[in-house]
Chain A
């Protein structure tokens, strides 16, 4: 056993608080240690050379590095070992920075702790064994979940590179929230005009299989080899026969609130969500259709010229295999009804931002005319309240929704373009306009379009003589204000969705309390999820505008392409391993494994023992902790190795 110990100064990040020379001197006294060096920057080129030189000249076969967190540089030093001809898993990393120098002030005590940490690492290193990875095939197909702008962009990028993509969308059409929008900042181009070409392109792309009105039912497998069950919900319309003529939707006698128009008008039980829907094929809402509920009506069936109505249709389940998954499930508006003081639901002329988008849109319920919902009158004063459900910790929404400042300015402009004589007031907290052309956009709203910005929150809205009265504060003037408006638009904040949380559970990826998916590293791995091979794009990760969603979608697509450019993947050797002789076949490991990586294996004499599928195992160690006879060990973290660490620690404290 020839152990080499290398202690990094990390500039002075470590050496300012820890006497690294003393630590190195101590390391030399430990059994098996043949050399101990301090290095100003172990990760630097000269630092790496020093380690390599020592490995080769002194024939070191275990390496202990005392430096930063292994999350930062473990991979660097594993490479150094490999380049010097050593198995990279013969490395033990002691975190002297995040877990020592950065969190302590007393130099003497911190040095003592660093010595303990090196002691433990050396003792464990002596018990390390060389580990090797195995290889698994990579399926080249990709699943994209969510057919909004992010999902469409990601699917197109991958399909364009010549790889197959399946795009699954839970609603009857792709397009997502962007399809609802009228014009989009900062250029004020028509949302539908830039979105619909992409919708058509993705639907007709030879490499894309489109599953609309479908949901992911079950996901198993692992990076490179996911098995996904997709439920194709029954549209009750035969997609092969339907020509999309829409006669059925005109004759349907049932009325239900239109989801696409945010409940501002009605649709039939059979409907096409919006004129540019892709696919342009109607769907029957089983919860309201008279034929489904009472076996009466069936008018659509009588009227359909191609006999496409299929009431007997059932949900279909298909199972497909994919190498990678992109989640782009988007966002929804937070539940703004918690703001009872704004009178939503009580007053027809208090509406949400998404409803205002539909009112502004020429394909919307008012044909693009700004009208009050109560009496159809054109409003003279429009008030927009920003941060409804954003930056409001008291209502459980401490984060910024990042788009409301911009679309509020957009509303000011569009309102003035539609109604040049109307006055627009925006109640805001701060204006956040920090992307390309955003600040100029807000300036334009103020200077060219005469938007009145009032800094302060509205505390109450009530009705007086048919108008909405807003009471609040102008914090710049330091006085309370009262404004009579005809129409109030709540700039409602963005939240993750419940269905994304449910999907995250199926995919085994993590999410936060607001339903946003968690990226693997906020700075350096922004589109990777916590599970290998699953990527995230768009507003399901955090509130985002369209440019950012598209950029992130392309980024996720490039990550997928990087993954599927390999024919085979190396699996981590740090996985659980069963010692068959010790296994008593209680299978507690199988029931706790979050990754279904443990299987039953029947031996020749008929006894059943556990077996680990190394490709599925993520090395979480639950099985190892659960196994009563310690028959399952986590490679690289075996009981023997961990106990040896504990023992070196406890030697210092004989009471333990």
Chain B
């Protein structure tokens, strides 16, 4: 890891003169956390981190519509960004949608072994009191002032990492480290399949329960790299009034279902919506379900091939996979 970090810093030093800023990760408020960082000056390069806690999808900062004031740049300038395999799928989708301009990006690719879901550590140790962490390829040792625990990293991976088929960045200008072989025999929609084994009634009850917990903070929408409508978002619209402001299971259900439909065939399974959910709703499963439908109907997986045209963004008189039962 540390070799990779050194290589990263070296590359960023090379890239930095060409870009307005470079987006990467830095150490967070405790040893378990990292935070996104915008490097503008060479002296800040040392703040960069690269480890198994780097879970944020930095592609979120790329759509011009989503960039905060002060992070816009003039024509001709570029942004550098560090992207994991899953995050690069978001960029591919954004490229296909014409939202980001490839010319304006300098992408640093990196191999990824999966990120650690801190929530999965919670049952073993109080993750809010961690004072020190030791990490190697297989195991993680976490210390608080009073306790310590050693866990196999593979037990702590995000669910999305377990079904990941893209351990290497898909589009990049520079790649650091060695590329990993993509894992075989992965069922990318396993989580949806699992959920669908529940009876219809049980599933309805499951979601009704989840929706009743939602506080409509809209963090899922705000973190999503593909939800870039910002102030114009349909879910904030008064005319027409698609969703009520009221926060209850019924109104929340509309909110999430409309969002899932808007992400159909666009969601790149980065799982950020579920990660940022303050009440831990596995909300990524709804767009994932839409993705599976699109996969079965069009053989389409969002953000995996830059040259393809998203099926719901094109008009064809006849579709290869639809209406050919004759």
Contact = CB atoms under 8 A, between A and B. Distances in A.
B319 to A, nearest CB: 13
Contacts of A588: 97, 312-313
Interface of A: 505, 513, 581-588, 591-594, 622, 626, 628-631, 638-640, 643
B65 A584 contact: yes
A509 to B, nearest CB: 10
A594 B315 CA distance: 6
B229 interface: yes
Nearest to A643: B240
Nearest to B99: A586
A646 to B, nearest CB: 10
A629 B242 contact: no
Contacts of B315: 591-594, 622
Contacts of B242: 630, 639, 643
A421 to B, nearest CB: 49
B97 A586 contact: yes
The interface centre, meaning the residue of A593, A638, A639 with most chain B CB atoms within 10 A of its CB, is A639
Contacts of A626: 312-313
Contacts of A505: 317
The interface centre, meaning the residue of B97, B98, B237, B240 with most chain A CB atoms within 10 A of its CB, is B240
A631 to B, nearest CB: 7
Nearest to B65: A584
A591 B96 CA distance: 11
Contacts of B313: 588, 591-592, 626
Interface string B24-54: 0000000000000000000000000000000
Interface in B89-114: 97-99
B24 to A, nearest CB: 27
Given A586-B228, A630-B234, A639 B240 contact: yes
Given A584-B228, A591-B313, A643-B241, A629 B98 contact: no
B27 to A, nearest CB: 35
B99 A583 contact: no
A513 B228 CA distance: 42
B217 interface: no
B233 interface: yes
Given A639-B240, A640-B239, 19 more contacts: A582-B232, A584-B228, A586-B98, A586-B228, A588-B97, A591-B309, A591-B315, A592-B312, A592-B313, A592-B314, A622-B315, A626-B312, A628-B234, A629-B232, A631-B232, A638-B240, A640-B240, A643-B240, A643-B242
B234 A584 contact: no
Contacts of B317: 505, 594
Contacts of B193: none
Nearest to A638: B240
**5 closest Cβ pairs, A-B complex:** A629-B232, A639-B240, A640-B240, A629-B229, A582-B232
The interface centre, meaning the residue of B97, B98, B309 with most chain A CB atoms within 10 A of its CB, is B98
The interface centre, meaning the residue of A629, A631, A643 with most chain B CB atoms within 10 A of its CB, is A629
The B interface, classified by DSSP as helix, strand, loop or mixed, is loop
A628 B262 contact: yes
A130 to B, nearest CB: 18
Contacts of A643: 240-242
B230 interface: yes
A638 B98 CA distance: 27
The interface centre, meaning the residue of B65, B229, B326 with most chain A CB atoms within 10 A of its CB, is B229
28 contacts: A505-B317, A582-B232, A584-B229, A584-B230, A584-B232, A585-B65, A586-B97, A586-B99, A587-B98, A588-B312, A591-B314, A591-B315, A592-B314, A592-B315, A626-B312, A626-B313, A628-B229, A628-B233, A628-B234, A629-B229, A629-B232, A629-B234, A630-B237, A630-B242, A639-B240, A640-B240, A643-B240, A643-B242
A583 B232 contact: yes
A397 to B, nearest CB: 14
Contacts of B241: 640, 643
Contacts of A583: 232
Nearest to B314: A591
A629 B314 contact: no
A622 B239 CA distance: 20
B145 to A, nearest CB: 49
Nearest to B313: A591
Contacts of B234: 628-630
A594 B128 CA distance: 55
A643 B230 CA distance: 23
Contacts of B312: 588, 592, 626
Contacts of B240: 630, 638-640, 643
Contacts of B97: 586, 588
The interface centre, meaning the residue of A591, A592, A622 with most chain B CB atoms within 10 A of its CB, is A591
A626 B262 CA distance: 8
A640 B241 CA distance: 7
Contacts of A639: 240, 242
A639 B240 CA distance: 6
Interface string B299-326: 0000000000100111101000000001
Nearest to A656: B250
A622 B314 CA distance: 10
B318 to A, nearest CB: 9
A518 to B, nearest CB: 12
B207 to A, nearest CB: 15
Nearest to B239: A640
A641 B32 CA distance: 51
A626 B313 CA distance: 8
A631 B232 CA distance: 8
Nearest to B75: A606
A582 B240 CA distance: 12
Nearest to B97: A586
Contacts of A592: 312-315
A317 B240 CA distance: 48
Contacts of A640: 239-241
A626 B229 CA distance: 13
Contacts of A630: 234, 237, 240, 242
A451 B315 CA distance: 55
A640 B238 CA distance: 10
Contacts of B237: 629-630
B300 to A, nearest CB: 15
A302 B220 CA distance: 79
A591 B266 CA distance: 15
A529 to B, nearest CB: 14
A593 B313 CA distance: 9
A512 B312 CA distance: 24
The interface centre, meaning the residue of A513, A628, A630 with most chain B CB atoms within 10 A of its CB, is A628
Interface in B241-269: 241-242, 262
The interface centre, meaning the residue of B239, B242, B326 with most chain A CB atoms within 10 A of its CB, is B239
B23 to A, nearest CB: 22
B221 to A, nearest CB: 11
A631 B312 CA distance: 17
Nearest to B317: A505
A408 B38 CA distance: 84
A653 B179 CA distance: 56
Nearest to A596: B315
Interface in B197-231: 228-230
A587 B230 CA distance: 16
A581 B233 CA distance: 12
A427 B241 CA distance: 68
A639 B242 CA distance: 9
Contacts of B309: 591
The interface centre, meaning the residue of B242, B312, B315 with most chain A CB atoms within 10 A of its CB, is B315
A581 B232 CA distance: 8
The interface centre, meaning the residue of B232, B237, B326 with most chain A CB atoms within 10 A of its CB, is B232
Contacts of B232: 581-584, 629, 631
Nearest to B258: A628
Contacts of A591: 309, 313-315
A629 B238 CA distance: 12
A593 B314 CA distance: 8
Contacts of A587: 98
Contacts of B65: 584-585
